[in-house]
A = this chain, B = another copy of it.
Amino acid sequence: MEEPALQKPAPLEPTPLKIGEFARRAGVSLRTLRYYEELGLLQPTSRTRGKFRCYREGDLHRLRLIQSLQELGLRLERIGRLLDTPDPEVDHEGFLVQVRSALAEEEELFEQQIARLGLEREKIRTARAKLAECDTCEHVPTDANNHCDPCRVTGRALPDVLRAHY
C-alpha cells in the first residue's frame, strides 16, 4: 500500500531534447531559451560534450507556465520569484508553503485577467451590435455631429469601443 504499482515503468533515461526541438514544441525562439537560462529562470538539465543544451520533456510545462504568466503582464523577475522554491530536501515545510502561495497567487491573477478580458469582450459585442444598425443608416460621423455621438437615429450614446475606432 505504501508503494503502489506505478502507471508505467518510467524509462530511467528519458531522451533529452536539444534546444531546437524543445523550442519548436513550446513555440518559442532559441534566443528566448538562452535568455531564460541567463536569468536562471529555466536551466537546461545538462550539456553535451560539445556544449549543446539538453532539456527534459517535463520542462515544457514549466516553460508554458512562464509564457502564460507573461501573458498576464508579469515581469520575468516576478515570474522567477513565483517559481523559485526552496529545496524540499532541506526545507520540506517551506517548500510546501512557497508552492501553495505561488499557486494561490497565480490563480487569483488568472481570475482577474479573465474577468477583465470578459468585460472588454462584452464591450466589443455591444459595439458590433450597434454597428450593425449603422449599415442601413445614411448618417455619417463627422466633427459637426460629434461623430454620431449620440446616435442621430436612436438619440442614445454610442458604445465606448465604437467611439474608440473613430
Contacts and interface: CB of A to CB of B under 8 A. Distances in A.
Interface of A: 2-7, 10, 58, 61-62, 64-65, 68, 71-73, 83, 85, 88-89, 92, 95-96, 99-100, 102-104, 106-107, 110-111, 113-114, 116-118, 120-121, 124-125, 127-128, 131, 134-135, 140-142, 146, 149-150, 152-157, 160-166
Contacts of A92: 140
A149 B149 CA distance: 60
Given A6-B155, A7-B156, A62-B164, A121 B111 contact: yes
B88 A140 contact: yes
29 contacts: A3-B152, A4-B153, A6-B150, A7-B156, A10-B146, A10-B150, A58-B149, A68-B117, A71-B117, A72-B117, A83-B165, A85-B165, A89-B142, A92-B140, A95-B141, A96-B131, A99-B162, A100-B128, A103-B131, A103-B162, A103-B165, A107-B121, A107-B124, A107-B125, A110-B117, A110-B124, A114-B117, A114-B121, A117-B117
Contacts of A161: 61, 65, 103
